[in-house]
Amino acid sequence: MLRGTGTAVSGEMRNTMKTRADDHVMLVHGGGGEMTRRFLDAHVLPGLANEFLDPLLDSAVLPPVEGSLCMTTDAFVVQPLEFPGGDIGRLAVCGTINDLAVMGARPLALSLALVMEEGLPLAVLDRVMASIAGAAGEAGTPVVTGDTKVVERNRGDGLLITTAGLGVLDEGPRLAPGRIEAGDEILVTGPIAEHGLAVMVAREGLGITSRLESDAAPLAGLVEAMVSSGGEVKFLRDPTRGGVAGVVADLVEDTGLGVEIEEEALPVPAPVRHAAELLGLDPLTVANEGKIVVVAAKGAGERVLEACHAHPRGKGAVRIGRMVRAEPPLAELITSIGGRRIIQRPYGEELPRIC
């Protein structure tokens, strides 16, 4: 039920829409005419200005680069649109940048497509656009092209966003599961499960007054710091949907090796633990939007961790486990009482529409 403290398009909001249409997105804003132009100038373009976007041509023209190009795209449908620690805009920028970053690519440029529902409050749009500009600025990755469309009332969900990202991969060993060996160390760059639970708590209006905030953040800088730390990094993945459990299950599948995670070592802050208990969720399976699971070569973990700790996005980085030879290969949790249990990826719908 969309009853969050955040901004879903509620019944109340729909009523205000009728009375003050000029404060809301209207179909005419998507018509392609003069109104569209004015709308873009007033609400979409201001924070994004850069030399590649500003000509507003049919395609952005980028300077030549050396190295292999990486391209990725992601759609964002989170409800509520705004939640503690972020909103759909920040998520749309960070999600795409991070998909490039964990490949070891340097993000170069973003595209941005907004599908707005007639009646979306302009104040919400302005806040989302400001946060898109903020996150792109923080990452140093410009939005170079984009599109906006408006759909009829009840045909959208307030606001849907799609971003694509272009990055460049410098020569050198690729980050891939192929090089992972038994004994390699598994790290995570900070506290887990914050994003998914922050959104869930906001959505359900559970009446928890918690300090839970989404961790959504662009991580290309942190990746750069880790890769150039001198400690060998073999594999990176951002544990978004499916959480850390999903990533370690992938590791087992892709390498044929086992994974051991120490429950005691997992960074699970108290508000996260409490919210997860209340919702009956395992923090291992809950999404993150500002963390990376790292596989570092045996003995290299310490240097990688030091590099993380020196970076503002990696202060809470810790070692959580290791790759092991095991038959059959399983992802296992060594529990705080010294027991063992299997870690599996979640079935699918534990937290609907969190990104």
**Residue placing its CB nearer to other proteins in the complex, 73 or 336:** 336
Q: What secondary structure does DSSP assign to 234-268, as a single string?
A: EEEE---TTHHHHHHHHHHHHHS-EEEEEGGGS--
**In whole angstroms, what is the distance from residue 78 CA to residue 343 CA?**
26
**Residue placing its CB nearer to other proteins in the complex, 312 or 328:** 328
DSSP alpha helices (H): ranges in 121-193? 122-139
Chain centre to alpha carbon of residue 189: 14
Are the beta carbons of 113 and 163 closer than 8 angstroms?
yes
Provide φ and ψ at 296, rounded to 5°: -110, 150
**Residue placing its CB nearer to other proteins in the complex, 8 or 330:** 330
Residues within the interface to other proteins (CB under 8 A): 1, 3, 11, 204, 206, 279-280, 282, 330, 333-342, 344, 347, 349
**β partners of residue 121:** 24
**Residue placing its CB nearer to other proteins in the complex, 35 or 279:** 279
Closest separation in Å from C-beta 96 to other proteins: 29
Closest separation in Å from C-beta 211 to other proteins: 20
Are the beta carbons of 50 and 143 closer than 8 angstroms?
yes
CA atoms within 13 A on the CB side of 106: 13
User: Do strands 293-296 and 233-237 pair parallel, antiparallel, or not at all (unpaired)?
Assistant: antiparallel
**Residue placing its CB nearer to other proteins in the complex, 161 or 330:** 330
Closest separation in Å from C-beta 320 to other proteins: 16
**Residue placing its CB nearer to other proteins in the complex, 32 or 352:** 352
Closest separation in Å from C-beta 204 to other proteins: 6
**In whole angstroms, what is the distance from residue 130 CA to residue 143 CA?**
13
**Residue placing its CB nearer to other proteins in the complex, 68 or 335:** 335
Closest separation in Å from C-beta 205 to other proteins: 9
**Residue placing its CB nearer to other proteins in the complex, 204 or 213:** 204
Closest separation in Å from C-beta 266 to other proteins: 13
Closest separation in Å from C-beta 1 to other proteins: 5
Closest separation in Å from C-beta 192 to other proteins: 16
Cα dihedral 33/34/36/38 (nearest 10): 170
Nearest to 115 by CA among 167, 87, 77, 86: 77
**In whole angstroms, what is the distance from residue 48 CA to residue 245 CA?**
36
